[in-house]
Structure 1
Amino acid sequence: MSTDTTSGHGHGHGHGHGHDTELDWEAMADNLETNGELHLPALRSTASRLAELLTDPTRIFDIGSGPGVMTCVFAEIFPTAEVVAVDPTPGLLDRVVARADRLGVGKRVTTVQAELPGLPGSLGTADLVWSSRAVHHLGDQQAALHELAGVLRPSGVLAVSEAGLPMRYLPRDIGIGRPGLQARLDAVQESWFEAMRAELPGATSVIEDWPAMLTRAGLTDVRSFATLLDLPAPLTETARGYLREHLTRLRDTMTEALDEDDHQTLGVLVDPDAAEGILRRPDAFLLSADSIFTGRAAG
């Protein structure tokens, strides 16, 4: 699976589920696709940067494609390439097909139901392998990078979007509850993330030095860059709706981890009729940054 985010599933620390670390990706499909669409400027920037590392790629893998937002961006940026969306969730792959057809790139987009670890040999190889916030959902992240590197063609590029900065969308003091709500939500979500990692099969601790991990996977010419999404206030109705769903999920799933004051504040923020709610606030914005790490297979 892949995102938060951002693109793809937009996985990351934004799905805080309290003590429940199971994620129902299919139930989150609408939110995942909206998240991807909001990040389209950043996703196109990422794809354009990757295009600078490649010469006429003919096959691209989007590993953990989710609903296919980045899949279709690749089909747009690389107009002669076949783009293969790989995801374990059938309902999300259906969305990939529908989105590709709607955008007129359906003839070059295919889907494969599979997941890491254990990509099928029938998948073949690609000139570019993309994975967004999927590796951190696997117990052995280093082994996952080895597997991704293993499906590269000679001189092919592996690009993984992992890490970055937590999404920001409200001022420190929003006039209700205690100031610093987002910092406290970040801390709770980090605790969820740690619990999620600990429960994964074969969970292995590793220093998350992604350039070093790519190098250990046998790749060279290891690089990194960041992309920024900056949607200033006032936000569009779509962006506000996305944030309301995000905040609703945090409120509903982190009850035990939040104090009563913060829980009440979240209740006001998600209230569609409240003047201080996220749907009506003039100060709501959306700012996020993603880090992309790349490495090249031997020629």
Structure 2
Amino acid sequence: MLPMLEQEAELFTPLYRQAAAWLRERKPEPELIADVGSGPGVISCLLAETFPQARVIAVDGAEPLLEHARARAARFGIADRFSTLEAELADGLGDLEYPADLLWASRSLHHVGDQRAALTDFASRLAPGGILALLEGGLPARHLPRDIGIGRPGLQARIDAVQEEWFTRMRAELPGAAEETEDWPALLTAAGLRHTATRTFLLDLPAPLSDEARAWVVTTLTHRREGLADGLDADDLATLDRLLDPDDKASVHHRPDVFVLAAQTVHVGVKAA
């Protein structure tokens, strides 16, 4: 997953940069930032860039991803204020030595069975007046028009529906899975924080796409084709195969109408001073 995670985070950097700037308005000078579920460290390094006086800790359960994050920090010249912590989020952040002034959790919480308990643990890791920024929700990314001239119109909507069913099964199979209404402001409040803001950020890359953005669309659709094949009918699978065939002029490798439009939502909770 490393190449895909890094490819996506780098493509979405303009969106994350907007979110980080918004957070800086709310917390101008944090001393310690924890990126919980950091993956390869793309956002961790962006946070270090946005907050040049802060120390940043990248937290993830996969050491190979953390190794990549440390190497990225070294390339960016921030290794002296960058560290990593290997921790499974479902087990809590017990080894996080110091309270964080800003804890960022980007699409990592939904991989924890008991999200309410994890949020309570996150909140306990904040310094007084500290901010928890939770990126969950938004809208599925779109890459293609409704009618693409091959197959039945509405392919992406059907892929999204199958993806939602897969996501529900994935959540149910997590250790300690607990059903939870995804009212994130209410969950932040239940964790002992004061919900202060919610904002959605947009990534709008219109056609014609750059080579990097087009490559990400190929990667994304390939991942969907491989992971959701059992839920898609034969016609949609055949359409996906054509979209992914570099020798097919109707594929996303060549189409002039491929775009990237995505919306991601950040919810902010503040710990009492």
Normalised-by-shorter TM-score class? over 0.9
Alpha-carbon distance change, 97 to 189 in structure 1, aligned in 2, over 3 angstroms: same
Alpha-carbon distance change, 255 to 122 in structure 1, aligned in 2, over 3 angstroms: closer
* Count of aligned positions: 272
Asked if the contact 1:214–1:222 (Cα under 8 Å) also holds between the matched residues in 2, the reply is no
Does the alignment pair 1:111 with 2:84?
Answer: yes
Match of 1:141 among 87, 104, 115: 115
> Which residue number in structure 2 is paired with residue 258 of structure 1?
232
> Which residue number in structure 1 is paired with residue 138 of structure 2?
164
Alpha-carbon distance change, 244 to 221 in structure 1, aligned in 2, over 3 angstroms: closer
Does the alignment pair 1:268 with 2:218?
Answer: no
Secondary structure of the residue aligned to 1:123 is: coil
Residue deviations 1:51-102, cap 9 Å, x none?
A: 1111411100000000111101111000010000000111111111111111
> Which residue number in structure 1 is paired with residue 164 of structure 2?
190
Alpha-carbon distance change, 298 to 184 in structure 1, aligned in 2, over 3 angstroms: same
Asked if the contact 1:234–1:282 (Cα under 8 Å) also holds between the matched residues in 2, the reply is yes
Runs (4 or more) in structure 1 with deviation over 6 Å come to none
Secondary structure of the residue aligned to 1:242 is: helix
Alpha-carbon distance change, 176 to 54 in structure 1, aligned in 2, over 3 angstroms: same
Does the alignment pair 1:88 with 2:41?
Answer: no
> Which residue number in structure 2 is paired with residue 77 of structure 1?
50
Asked if the contact 1:215–1:222 (Cα under 8 Å) also holds between the matched residues in 2, the reply is no
Asked if the contact 1:173–1:180 (Cα under 8 Å) also holds between the matched residues in 2, the reply is yes
- Which amino acid in structure 2 is aligned with residue 282 of structure 1? P
Asked if the contact 2:134–2:268 (Cα under 8 Å) also holds between the matched residues in 1, the reply is yes
Match of 1:295 among 265, 269, 272: 269
Match of 1:204 among 165, 175, 178: 178
TM-score (norm 1): 0.89
Secondary structure of the residue aligned to 1:61 is: strand
Residue deviations 1:198-234, cap 9 Å, x none?
A: 1111111111110011011101142111110000101
Asked if the contact 1:155–1:297 (Cα under 8 Å) also holds between the matched residues in 2, the reply is yes
Asked if the contact 2:85–2:96 (Cα under 8 Å) also holds between the matched residues in 1, the reply is no
Write the distance in 2 (CA, Å) between the matches of 1:219 and 1:252: 40
Residue deviations 1:20-78, cap 9 Å, x none?
A: xxxxxxxx111110101111111111001001111411100000000111101111000
Alpha-carbon distance change, 134 to 122 in structure 1, aligned in 2, over 3 angstroms: closer
Write the distance in 1 (CA, Å) between the matches of 2:206 and 2:63: 35
Gaps (5+ residues) in structure 2? none
Residue deviations 1:247-281, cap 9 Å, x none?
A: 11211222221111100111011111211111111
TM-score (norm 2): 0.97
Write the distance in 1 (CA, Å) between the matches of 2:57 and 2:226: 35
Gaps (5+ residues) in structure 1? 1-27
**What displacement does 1:124 show?**
2.3
CA RMSD of aligned residues (A): 1.0
